Structure 1
Amino acid sequence: MSPSTTTTRFRMGTRPSPMAMEQTGRVETAFRSLHPHIDLEILQITSQGDQHRGPLAEIGGKGAFTRRADEHLLDGRVEATIACAKDTPGPHDRAPGITIGAVLPREDVRDVLVLPAGRPPATLDALPPGTRVGTSAPRRAALLKALHPQLIPVPIRGNADSRLAALDAGTLGADGMIAALAGLRRLDLADRASQILDPTVWLPAAGAGIVVIEHRADDHTTSCLLAPLSHAPTRALFDAERAALATLRGGCLTAASIHATLDEKTDRVTVYAVVLDPAGGTPLRTVTTGPASNPTAAGHQAGEQLLDAGANRLLGARP
């Protein structure tokens, strides 16, 4: 007998932000289509990251967005949780007993420049020296320093919609900000992009544009329910990027980019990995390839090559 006929109730947790609720709606639609006889309940879980407006380092980095969701999973209050892959901590920082049940199709990985409403569009190159550009990501701050040293990265916090409102009101503490294009699209605000940044130059984050569904590792019924939602090509990319990040022991405070691509004709994964200098100096780069049947090997190799090249020197650096 299949899990869908023996399970009558399924609880799925998500953050309460507008962006999280939009992606949850898409997951809910897909789940109900696959399992129409299951009573699906969506529970909103407010994370420490949603409540705390200071630097993430003060509350444990990316774990601030997943810690309470992990607690809900482990004590049985929900069967699964939904998250943006790039907002989850590195594998070495996760609570034991939690695993990935589904990886949804990858969306756009590109970042964009956003300016206050009503201001004429401009590019990073065209912004006046001293312009303050807001970001919460060390990767983005390091890229700004390396590629646009005339600009000043400043830390900002909050959900995408609240950041946009503060930017427009002049209360963000920045003259513009960097945001994820996929996130703006989820909010139907892609037209706020003043410049879409070239991902071959402005390097994307590991897990960019990927939504994952997690569950307890020992919950085989949930594993069976979620498996049909997973997109195999994106899962290969996700596994490669996470393997490289794990090898570097990276997390949200790491100025690094891991981006994998899949050539479906050759069935091979290519991993582009970069460790950035938080001060804006020369980054360390590597590229590896491997069979899509073992993407973690290609990711692990990329991480090892960066470590052999001296990545630890940059990984431990501060701006």
Structure 2
Amino acid sequence: MRDGVTGKFRLVPRNEAVVSVFDSNFLVGDGIWEGIRANKGRVQFARDHINRLFQSAKAMYMDLGLTKRDLLELLHVTLDANGMNDEAAVHIRLVVSRGLKSTPYQNPSVNVGLPLITIIPEVKAVAVDMKSRGLRLATTWVRRGPPDVKDEQWNHISKATDIQACISANVMGVDEALMLDQRGFVKTCNSVNFFIVRGTEVWAPTKDNQMQGITRQKTIDVCKANGITVRELDFSLTEVYGADEAFCTGTFPSQIHVVEVDGRRIGNGKRGPVTQRIQELYQELVARDVSRTREEIAAEVEAERDLSFLRRLNGSVL
């Protein structure tokens, strides 16, 4: 935990970790978070996750009080202290609260010091039976909102919309709730992103009204890099029901196939060949990413934008 008032970082046993009742997350749900994977002590897709966190912080007008490399180093220190450098399946919940308040009030003007940063690592993998069985989905009444209400691109601590959808899934007796946007097009699930396969094409809902999932984008990237046609577009439940395959993506599960939506079997009800191939390509990408040294990963995290494409466009040297 990085205390926002003292600026000190300390490692605390799980059963001794406490947060003040005057903390912004507790009082008004004012904070952001990231779900991150680590493999053998290497933070997976570190640049993408840390950039997304800093983008959310900037949108929320929140000064984290440290650099991107500093934050990565805190993740490394936590992994080392927990003896997790031989573990291939570590899930990290990185939570940032705006910090301590002098009194219960929503205005950040009463905050004291910098944000509180909490890092919670766990050895955790998707259950084998879930991975082999696949997911059952059902459409919920809970809709994804527009960015002028609560921008769904923020990984905000206030997850009330997704929690309501999750409760809806529990009531319906399925694994995840499939959520629509305000126009009725398929958008995302309550905790993972959603894709379908029709013929030779992979379809992804547009990024509007949903979390800018890193695994979602990496899935699109590996498709494009390996000759699999992927389209980002609006599509309806009718097109989902008639899909040949469907799958969900997320930092925790990577890709996991969908066998049923609203009681309709998807394809033959099993993991399809396109989904399987994407899983293989994605795992190859992960393996390349985490095979680097910590210093190589840190250098990428703090690197400036790559503007080499401009030289290719006009032949000039910047």
TM-score over 0.5 (shorter chain): no
Query: TM-score, normalization: structure 1?
Result: 0.24
Query: TM-score, normalization: structure 2?
Result: 0.24
Q: Quick check: which has more Rg, 1 or 2? A: 2
